[in-house]
Structure 1
Amino acid sequence: MAEQQMYLTLHCEPCEDCVQEDWQFIRDGELHWAGFEHCPRYEAYVCDDGRGVPPPWIRDRIVAREGTVHLPVGGPDGVPITLLRRVYGLSIAEVAAARKTGYRATPVEARYLSDAATRTSAAGPGAPG
């Protein structure tokens, strides 16, 4: 489950001076995200961060900037279905669709899922994942 922490909410109407930055990263084997907005004209700042998959509006901006990686789902070379459900909270119908067509992850999510799948398979059958 994703955790979210908001430090401050103070925002002007967006103008041409506004700066917006969003990141995803892996820290201590966990997926994290951060968002930062700053308007130097009005000295307004917004910082937001959390664990897990970022909120849709932040993830959409990351996808627009960095694109996606197509990942196979299930099978010997795909992302384990249980891992995909745990990370993204997908329904059974969403997992079934992803099993057929694959899943589009951000580059950081793809690395996290690949690393987690490798750790799970290295631990052997029945290991918690």
Structure 2
Amino acid sequence: MAEQQMDGIAHCEPCEECVQEEGQFVRDGELRWETYDSCTRYPFQACDRGAGVPPPWIRERILAREGSVHLPVGGPGGIPIALLRRVYGLSIAEVVAARAEGYRATPVEARYLARAAP
């Protein structure tokens, strides 16, 4: 399960000056993520960070910006099923689908999984 920490100051309705930044990285062998929101028009800042795979809405923004990497699952040259289940917490049905179709990972997740695979 992902560890998460959130900090925020004030409140702002989204406007054209609002900035949203999100990212993923590996620190000390652990997959991590963070997001930062700010506004130059109003005094607003928010920061959210955690360990593991980011929440779905943050992960989707990362995928939209950076694209995805198609990973084969299981078999020779594929990401081990046990590793995929441990990192993403996939159900058996999701693992079966990933085994048949591959898995869509962010570039950082793909590098992390490739290093973690035996």
TM interval, shorter chain, is over 0.9
Match of 2:104 in 1: 104
Q: 1:17, 1:41 within 8 Å by CA — same for their partners in 2?
A: yes
Letter of the 2:2 partner, please give it: A
Moved over 6 A (4+): none
Match of 2:64 in 1: 64
Report the number of matched residues.
118
Compute the RMSD of aligned alpha carbons: 0.9
What percent identity do the matched residue pairs reach? Answer: 72
Q: 1:11, 1:46 within 8 Å by CA — same for their partners in 2?
A: no
Give the TM-score normalised by structure 2: 0.97
Secondary structure of the corresponding residue to residue 34 of structure 2? strand
Cα gap change, 1:10 to 1:59, in 2 (>3 Å): farther
Q: 1:33, 1:49 within 8 Å by CA — same for their partners in 2?
A: yes
Match of 1:8 in 2: 8
The CA distance in 2 between the partners of 1:9 and 1:94, in whole Å, is 38
Match of 2:22 in 1: 22
The CA distance in 1 between the partners of 2:56 and 2:95, in whole Å, is 18
The CA distance in 2 between the partners of 1:7 and 1:66, in whole Å, is 25
Give the TM-score normalised by structure 1: 0.89
What runs of 5+ residues in structure 1 fail to find an aligned partner?
122-129
The CA distance in 1 between the partners of 2:87 and 2:37, in whole Å, is 26
Alpha-carbon shift at residue 10 of structure 1 (Å): 3.6
Match of 1:49 in 2: 49
Alpha-carbon shift at residue 9 of structure 1 (Å): 5.6
